[in-house]
Chain A
Amino acid sequence: MSHLNVKAGGISLKEPGILASGILDENGYSMKRILLEGAGAAVTKSIGIDGRDGYNPPVVVETGSGILNAMGLPNPGIDNFSEEITLAMKAGKPVIGSIFASNANDFLKLAEKMSDYGVAAVELNLSCPHVKGFGTEVGSDPALVKEIVSTLKGSISIPVWAKLSPNVTDILSIANAASDSDAVVLINTVRGMAIDIYARSPILTNRYGGLSGSSIKPVGLRLVYEVRKELGLEIIGVGGISTWQDALEYIMAGSSAFQVGTALWSNGRKVFSEINQGLESYMKEFGVGNLMELRGVAIR
């Protein structure tokens, strides 16, 4: 599979598909299995300074063409996470540490710990849509995003990825604020909700959640395309990818690699190996030597 090799966001990947943050990546054994079954890298669950239990279930709703979730950033706290990274790294592939905080100082502390644990890069969660004081609340303030990214870039040696939210009015000003990062990751989930007509109540305990899966692919594609076209940044695309065709759309819109989350539910862990096979046969059929030849080719 040598021609699926890509360099993205400052790291080398044997396969271009990356496990997205928050899906089957809290337990090191799960990440290891997914890596061994065809993912090129895995992003961990978003980890903060202190542990959190997350919200009470229901934390997910199946919407028919996607998933609505409000997990509430459950995580064991950075000091309790090193073992999971060590376990995942046994697969011999890059592990990327996702972190969340509300200020530059805490982001730096988390990034330094992740770096000590051996991750290949850190991904800043500037985009979780459903927890007060974190995620989008931080990531929709361009000045704060700029401060966080430059603080980290000035202090740690591993690559820094900034994961941005689609729930903002002006993506270009936020992406621009994050332009010192090694890659922007687009997109996190789209804010939404679901109501049960018998209970006459929102289903999610948190009421609001984030939509993922096939329904959001057009939203993600548009944001990747726009940011690549207008700013020329390095991008990792994510949102609604479940087939090799979806992955190619993201590459042609300007992504250097892509992440897959919700399709682990709809397609199972085999989704990564299926995408790899599909990409290879497409490349063979059209004489494409390396996937990067296709990056951004759809941009007009």
Chain B
Amino acid sequence: MMQHVKILRKEIETPTVFSLYFHWDVKVEPGQFVMVWVPGYSEVPMSLSSTGKEKCLTVKMYGDTTKALNSLKEGDIIQLRGPYGKPFTRVKGKTLLVGGGSGMASMRPLINEESTGIVAARGQDELLFADDFSKGNAICVTEDGSRGIKGIITAGFENLDLKSFSMIYICGPERMLYAVFKMLHGKTENVEFSLERSMKCGIGLCDSCSVDGFQICKEGPTFSISEVEKMGEFGKTRLDRSGKRVFF
């Protein structure tokens, strides 16, 4: 059912990313997502970057619909439905949160004193939520070397003792997930990926988000490394908007 919430405030996170805060009296767990509709534009899946009493959507501007969301202000209404999907598994102890681009948004609710972050982006301007980690706990990786390690996300894992983490959570574009998967594969079992694919229905009917017969919108978006390992399509092929199979 379509629901309606009122924007409490907006915060600018990076030159292309902003957050919209609102009250929504619904239980949401980290890793779950909503379908956000902007009338006159389209409907897009978005994870919640805050899941307490006050909820938050962190939006990367990349098309008409997300740009239209950017023009909303305090007091305006957002139409959304959800929450959908399977949350991340919560654990006690040390955690490692790995996010590329806007991928950090879905993991922000998991940040606490015991978490370490690997935050990756093209340049320092685009690093998302790196400063939400306790001092010294965020490893930044930038492609242009403007902050932290110069390189791609996998470089952030050097010098880390993988076994010391109760869980490693990873979110970002599939190509990045695949690179991390190949690196972690066989080294540790406590890893969860949040997969991203294009979604049209969000409720397990249209097949646009499916990977190996699993509907990411319903059985995911979070999957353990042992589940991902069995997916023949993961990191290799996907269907485009028309349903045509294309390679990554």
User: Using a CB–CB distance below 8 Å, which chain A residues touch chain B?
Assistant: 23-27, 29-34, 45, 51-54, 56-62, 64, 67, 69, 71, 74-77, 80-81, 83-84, 196, 198-199, 201, 203, 205, 261-262, 264-265, 268
Contact = CB atoms under 8 A, between A and B. Distances in A.
Contact of B206 (A29, A71, A203): A71
A74 B243 contact: yes
A27 B210 contact: yes
A133 to B, nearest CB: 18
Contact of A265 (B4, B39, B40, B204): B204
B208 A26 contact: yes
B29 interface: no
B71 to A, nearest CB: 15
B203 A77 contact: no
Contacts of B44: 57
B200 A83 contact: no
6 contacts: A26-B208, A29-B211, A30-B215, A75-B242, A201-B40, A265-B203
B216 to A, nearest CB: 11
A264 B205 contact: yes
A76 B244 contact: yes
Given A61-B2, A198-B4, A26 B207 contact: yes
Contacts of B79: 196, 198-199
Q: What DSSP secondary structure best describes chain B's contact surface?
A: loop
Contacts of B155: none
Given A24-B205, A57-B44, A203 B37 contact: yes
A52 B243 CA distance: 9
Given A201-B39, A203-B2, A23 B232 contact: no
B51 to A, nearest CB: 22
Contacts of A53: 241-242
Given A45-B243, A71-B206, 7 more contacts: A26-B210, A26-B243, A57-B35, A57-B37, A57-B200, A60-B202, A265-B205
Contact of A60 (B39, B203, B215, B239): B203
Contacts of B42: 56-58, 205
B150 to A, nearest CB: 38
A27 B239 contact: yes
Contacts of A58: 35, 37, 42-43
A27 B207 contact: yes
B15 interface: no
A83 B245 contact: yes
Nearest to A25: B207
A54 B41 CA distance: 15
A62 B213 CA distance: 23
Nearest to A200: B39
Interface in B192-248: 200-208, 210-215, 218, 232-233, 239-245
Contacts of A262: 205
A67 B212 CA distance: 25
Contacts of B244: 51, 76-77, 80
A80 B239 CA distance: 11
Contacts of A83: 245
Point out which of A25, A57, A76 has the most chain B C-beta atoms below 10 A from its C-beta: A57
A74 B4 CA distance: 29
A80 B241 CA distance: 13
A23 B205 contact: yes
A80 B246 CA distance: 10
B243 A62 contact: no
Interface string B27-57: 0000000010101111110000000000000
A75 B210 contact: no
A29 B200 contact: no
A60 to B, nearest CB: 5
B1 interface: yes
B81 interface: yes
Contacts of A261: 205
B203 A71 contact: no
Nearest to A75: B243
B77 interface: yes
